Structure 1
């Protein structure tokens, strides 16, 4: 019997669905697994599809991590934020450290660039403004030592001001 235009086409395989998602952008294995589950694919079918994609090098958590780090560094985020985001994608701590080390980012220069972009070249006129700037960098994921060296603020006081 011919299919009418109102009939729904057959649901694509988990492999096809995951491949389509990867064609748009890199995904972590955990992220693809979640999207497949949300799409109604069973665990075994999804697992086999992800294994096959990994064997074919279409899905690679290392490549995903490197892409994410490059992207987030370009957006002005610090290493603590990157570490948390990579952890949420299911990457191991050792792999996260290796990817961040391989990025070879000067985090002090990155933090200083974010301050200039947000607040201009003028220095903070008072302690309250210095604390506000320090909190900005902390929220972006820069470590307290980096924030202290870039803003010359006492980060502990800045954290007290926000609480």
Structure 2
């Protein structure tokens, strides 16, 4: 039971030692462990003032981690807003991230599909996969159209 400011701070610091957390996520975890909501806010404010809790570091860390796992900007944006982060902050962090999303998508596509599009059905399957991972439809279309499969080709056979 987390019933003192010291125990709440210690629990929060233990969580932060494992990985970066956002304010909302950390508060939720502490609530689940039985801490008082008012005491949580006071301690999280202190951690923020001490530089131990940072939304900006959390955003950067999360975006880098998810991008390395093959997730696209649309999916990452949605995940972060569901985690209680402000859309403007998320947009700013995504724009500031030094990630070439097209290259990220191409590398994922290479790993998953060996860089090949066999036919139009295969192209649709690959397109759905990349869209579910959070890549924009135009970027997916550009990548797969470079492989020589356009709608016109299917009808010319």
TM range (shorter): 0.7 to 0.9
Pairing partner for 1:39 from 2, 16, 33: 33
Residue 51 of structure 1 aligns to a residue whose secondary structure is: helix
1:129 aligns with 2:122: yes
Question: 1:14 is matched with which residue?
Answer: 8
Deviations along 1:57-102, whole A, 9 cap, x unmatched?
1000110000011111111110001101111222211111111111
Question: 1:68 is matched with which residue?
Answer: 62
CA distance, structure 1, for counterparts of residue 133 and residue 99 of structure 2: 15
Q: Following TM superposition, where does structure 1 have runs of at least 4 consecutive aligned residues deviating by more than 3 angstroms?
A: none
Residue 128 of structure 1 aligns to a residue whose secondary structure is: helix
Shift of 1:110: 1.3
Question: 1:51 is matched with which residue?
Answer: 45
TM, length-normalised to structure 2: 0.86
Give the alignment of 1:135-150 within 5 angstroms.
135-150=128-143
CA root-mean-square deviation: 1.8
Structure 2 residues not aligned, in runs of 5+: 151-157
